[in-house]
Amino acid sequence: MPKTRAVITDYIGTLTNASHYTMEASVDKLYNALVRAGFPSIREDFLVEYGRAHEKYRLIRYGELKEVTNAVWVSEALSAIGFHVCVEDKRMNTALGEFFKDYIDSLKIRPCAQKLLGEVKKNCKLGLVSNFTYAPVVHESLQRLKIRRFFDAIVVSGDNGWRKPHRNIFADVLMRLGVSPDEAVFIGDSPLEDIKGAKDAGLRTVFVQSQFYGTKDLQGSNQKPDFVAADLEEICRSLAMILNCSETNKSHPEMH
């Protein structure tokens, strides 16, 4: 087995928790920001068209694994009510910034996350791969949480154009890190997006429980990661073993 030269992590769920966030309140902020930017103040019509566009692109994003940024479906919703605007319109970015402000504020670093990132950086390169439609959210929140400095490569689906578990997004981060799949380990909390995606791309995998996924979800997915952890602290304790690949398919005894 080649030496581990890189560890790649998922972001939301794996390194962070999200709390006290509601989509409804953010959509209201998006609408109000669009009105202040000079777009039509037809609230109900906009919300209906926004919902339609969101569902249309949700099917593409999850069915074809092609990422579609929020600006696309917001501009489509505005066009449907008679206000044609291009995706690159600066007012769009301003409104989306307000839309995601509450979400960014809701992200809190998970216990032991900074310690884990610091320990990894002592041994190898560090990459991050995140499924997020609007990449500035990831970059801004990484800075706010003071963990941006740890990463040698950051790939967000909103920039890349592909979503996990598609192998293209994993290939992108491997290329940026300058490592081959068998030289990398992926840490994530989603059995499908993270574990299956990384395994299919040729990486070794570590599953960590989160506020979104537990061991029941992992068992139901029939995915077999190389290591299963109850939390990030357990990964810290077992990091040397994980990097050295001296054992595989280990898990916390209480998780069976």
Cβ atoms of 130 and 157 closer than 8 Å:
yes
Specify the higher pLDDT residue, 166 or 79.
166
Nearest-CA neighbor of 152 among 131, 172, 127, 173?
127
Q: Is the pTM of this model over 0.75?
A: yes
pLDDT in tens, 101-153: 888 999 999 999 999 999 999 989 999 999 999 999 999 999 999 999 999 99
Specify the higher pLDDT residue, 165 or 36.
165
> pLDDT value at position 98?
83
Residue 254, pLDDT > 50, answer: no
Domain residue limits, the chain: 6-18+109-255, 23-105
Share of the chain above pLDDT 70, in %: 93
Residue 253, pLDDT > 70, answer: no
> pLDDT value at position 92?
82
Residue 255, pLDDT > 60, answer: no
Cβ atoms of 188 and 215 closer than 8 Å:
no
> pLDDT value at position 248?
45
Residue 256, pLDDT > 50, answer: no
Q: Grade residue 99 by pLDDT with cuts at 50, 70 and 90.
A: confident
pLDDT in tens, 35-77: 887 776 678 888 899 889 999 999 999 999 999 998 998 899 8
Beta bridge partners of 12: 16
Nearest-CA neighbor of 54 among 145, 12, 62, 11?
62
Share of the chain above pLDDT 90, in %: 66
Residue 249, pLDDT > 60, answer: no
Rounded to the nearest integer, the mean pLDDT of the chain is: 90
- Enter the tokens of residue 134: 């609007």
Q: Which positions ≥6 away from 72 have C-beta within 8 Å?
A: 53, 57, 87
> pLDDT value at position 22?
67
The CA distances from residue 124 to 29, 121, 182, 203, in Å, are 41, 5, 14, 15
Q: Lowest mean pLDDT of 3-7, 48-52, 183-187, 197-201, name the range.
A: 48-52
- Enter the tokens of residue 86: 């291009």
Give me the architecture of the 6-18+109-255 domain, per CATH. 3-Layer(aba) Sandwich (3.40)
Cβ atoms of 8 and 184 closer than 8 Å:
yes
